[in-house]
Amino acid sequence: MRSLVEPRFIVGLPRSGSTLWSRVFAEDETVLCFREMHFLSLWRKDFRYFLKKHVGRLSENSGVTRLVDALIDEQKTSFLKGNFWMQLRKHDPDLLARNIYERLLPTDRSLSEIFKAIIEEACLIRGYRKCMVKFPVYVSQMDFLRQCYPKAPIVHITRDPRAIAASKTNDPGGVGKFIKQHPWMEPSLRMAALLFVVMQYNLAARTHQKHSGQHHYQLFYYEDLLANPEKVIAELCEFAELIWSESMLDPKSGQPSSLTGQRRSGFDPNAASRWKDVLSNREVRFIEFMTKSAQAKYGFHRR
C-alpha cells in the first residue's frame, strides 16, 4: 500500500540532544512532531511484547479488533515507553482506532504494516501529511525503518560521548535519582551508567558506519548545531525537506537540562563543554579510551 504520509525520523542515543533537534523540526508548521515512541527496543519490553500480551494472533479480524482497542487503552499501553502513546490517544481515539482497523484489514498485519498504520493514521487524523518521529527505534533497528520507509529521511544525531555520559550520570529522573536515594552506591551507579553509555555509543557508531553514504541518511552533530546553528539548520532543512524559517534559529524552550536544571530557548554553546564540570578526570579518560574507535567511525577526529 502506498504511504499517505511523508515521515522524517530522528534516531540516535538518549541524551544526544534529541529534544533540541525536534524543537527545530517543530518550527516547520507543515510537519507534525510526534514524541518519543520506542516502538522497538533492545533493552526493554517494546511493541512486540505489547502484541504478545494484549493482542495475540492477528490472522483473524478479531485480532485486529483487539489491537486497536488496546492501542487506545491507557492501562494496556502504560508500560510502553515514550510519550507518543499518550499523544496518540488525545485526538479522537475512537475514529483513530476505526481508521487503523480499516487500514490493517487488507494487509498481512506484519509489524511494519502496524507501524505504518499507527504513524500515518495518527498524522492524517490531525490534518497533516508530513510528520517527524523521534526515536521510533533504537539505532540498531534502522533496517526496520528502511523496510517500512525506503525513502524517508533519517536524521542520525550524535554527540560527544563524554557529554552523553555526563547527562546520563546526572539525570535527575534516572541515575541521579538513584544516587540521591542511595548515596553510598554512587561510585557503582556512575560506573554502571558509564559502561552502558559506552556500549550504546559503540553500537550506534557501527550502525552509522553501515549506513553512511546511503541515500536518505545523514549524520548530524549536536556540537555543530550549537556552534553554527544557521549553517547546520540549513543543511537539515535541505536534507529533511523542511521549510526554513527564522524561528528555527531561536527554537522554543524544551525540557530542563540534566546538568543545570534550567530551561532555555535558542542555542547554548556552553552546553557542548559542560560535561567538564561533572566528570572526573578518571571518568573522562575511561570514556575516551573505550570509545576511541567509535569516535573515529563517527568522524569526530576529522571535525
Cβ neighbour number for residue 136 with a 10 Å cutoff: 27
Instruction: Kindly report whether the global pTM for this prediction surpasses the value 0.75.
Output: yes
* Alpha-carbon gap, residue 279 to 271, rounded angstroms: 14
Distances (CA, A) of 8 to 100, 155, 196: 20, 8, 28
* Alpha-carbon gap, residue 233 to 248, rounded angstroms: 8
Cβ neighbour number for residue 256 with a 10 Å cutoff: 12
* Alpha-carbon gap, residue 69 to 54, rounded angstroms: 10
Residue 88, phi then psi, degrees to nearest 5 = -60, -40
Closest CA to 25 of 242, 181, 213: 242
**DSSP H or E run through 9:** strand 6-12
* Alpha-carbon gap, residue 145 to 112, rounded angstroms: 8
Closest CA to 12 of 47, 45, 36: 36
Three cell numbers, residue 129? 501529511
- Written as tens digits, the pLDDT of the chain (303 aa) is 567 899 999 999 989 999 899 999 999 999 999 998 889 988 788 999 999 999 999 999 999 999 999 999 999 998 888 889 999 999 999 999 999 999 999 999 999 999 999 999 999 999 999 999 988 777 888 999 999 999 999 999 999 999 999 999 887 777 777 777 777 878 888 999 999 999 999 999 999 999 999 999 999 999 999 999 999 999 999 999 999 999 999 988 666 555 555 566 678 899 999 999 999 999 999 999 999 999 999 998 655
Contact at 8 Å (CB) between 50 and 71?
Answer: no
Three cell numbers, residue 250? 531561536
Contact at 8 Å (CB) between 253 and 291?
Answer: no
Looking at residue 303, its pLDDT comes to 59
